[in-house]
């Protein structure tokens, strides 16, 4: 893996955090790539979504998701308290607005792991958001990875492959692409994108002022 750890010996959070929107179909390796980026890059945090679905075994409220009922979710929508939302198989998911905006103002950076529909909503409301799409080498690879998990039956795998094809059609709307045909290279690509954005001059005015003293 491309090691970025030496970059962070004297790292400080930017003057204003960055909002990263990361999408990719099931089987693209997105979760693995994001987990490592969050471990390595200081001040980078994962946004916890709200959902109406029931918790799964081992999931913790406020850590994996904010679990709410349908009435609470509708209230959040009515109050414009969500950056984006979507319905998936009868359950609703959304990103609470207030924690994200508070984090950005404090210099902390937020990663949203959302689908292409949610990403489009965020790009409309937050034009400064930086979007990254995780590309698999092919749909054949997606199918092989999904079957290799052994978690879903054939009908679900086939549905996820169709959904992956639909999501790939939107990849051209994103700022950056990461091709995950080699995991070490993909880690390096994603982390380099995130770090470069966090080093943008507009986010580091305090460094310039400190250097001139």
Kindly state the tokens that stand for 63.
Answer: 């850590």
Task: Kindly indicate the confidence band of residue 3, based on its pLDDT and cuts at 50, 70 and 90.
Answer: low
Mean pLDDT confidence for 140-164: 77
- Predicted TM-score of the model (pTM): 0.87
Q: Residue 128: its pLDDT value, please?
A: 94
Consecutive H or E run containing 85? strand 82-88
Q: Residue 61: its pLDDT value, please?
A: 93
Query: Is 184's pLDDT higher than 90?
Result: yes
pLDDT digits (tens, 9 = 90+) for 47-86: 999 999 999 889 999 998 999 999 999 999 999 999 999 8
Q: Are strands 50-51 and 91-96 parallel, antiparallel or unpaired?
A: antiparallel
DSSP string, 133-195: EEE-S-HHHHHHHHHHHT-S-HHHHHHHHHHHHHHHTTGGGSSEEEE-SSHHHHHHHHHHHHH
Query: Is 146's pLDDT higher than 80?
Result: no
Q: Where are the domains of the chain?
A: 16-211
Mean pLDDT confidence for 113-127: 93
Distance CA 81, CA 104 (A): 16
Mean pLDDT confidence for 136-160: 77
Mean pLDDT confidence for 12-24: 95
Q: At which residue do the structure tokens 């994200």 appear?
A: 100
Architecture of the domain whose range is 16-211: 3-Layer(aba) Sandwich (3.40)
| Rounded-to-10 torsion of CA 96, 98, 103, 105 | 140
Q: What are the residues whose beta carbons fall under 8 Å from the beta carbon of 83, sequence distance 6 or more?
A: 94, 95, 96, 97, 100, 112, 121, 122, 125, 126
Mean pLDDT confidence for 183-195: 95
Query: Is 1's pLDDT higher than 50?
Result: no
């Amino acid at each position: 893996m491309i090691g970025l750890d030496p970059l962070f010996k004297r790292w400080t959070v930017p003057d204003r955090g960055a909002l990263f929107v990361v999408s990719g179909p099931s089987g693209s390796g997105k979760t693995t790539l994001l987990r490592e980026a969050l471990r390595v890059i200081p001040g980078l945090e994962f946004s916890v979504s709200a959902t109406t679905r029931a918790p799964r075994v081992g999931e913790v409220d406020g850590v994996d998701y904010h679990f709410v009922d349908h009435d609470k979710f509708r209230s959040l929508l009515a109050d414009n308290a969500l950056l984006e939302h979507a319905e998936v198989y009868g359950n609703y998911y959304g990103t609470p607005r207030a924690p994200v905006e508070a984090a950005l103002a404090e210099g902390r950076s937020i990663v949203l792991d959302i689908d292409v529909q949610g990403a489009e909503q965020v790009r409309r409301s937050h034009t400064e958001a930086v979007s990254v799409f995780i590309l698999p080498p092919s749909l054949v690879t997606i199918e092989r990875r999904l079957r290799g998990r052994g978690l879903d039956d054939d009908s679900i795998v086939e549905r996820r492959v169709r959904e992956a094809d639909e999501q790939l059609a939107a990849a051209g709307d994103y700022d950056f692409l990461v091709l995950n045909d080699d995991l070490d290279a993909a880690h390096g690509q994603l982390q380099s994108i995130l770090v470069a954005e966090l080093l943008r001059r507009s986010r580091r005015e305090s460094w310039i002022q400190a250097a001139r003293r």
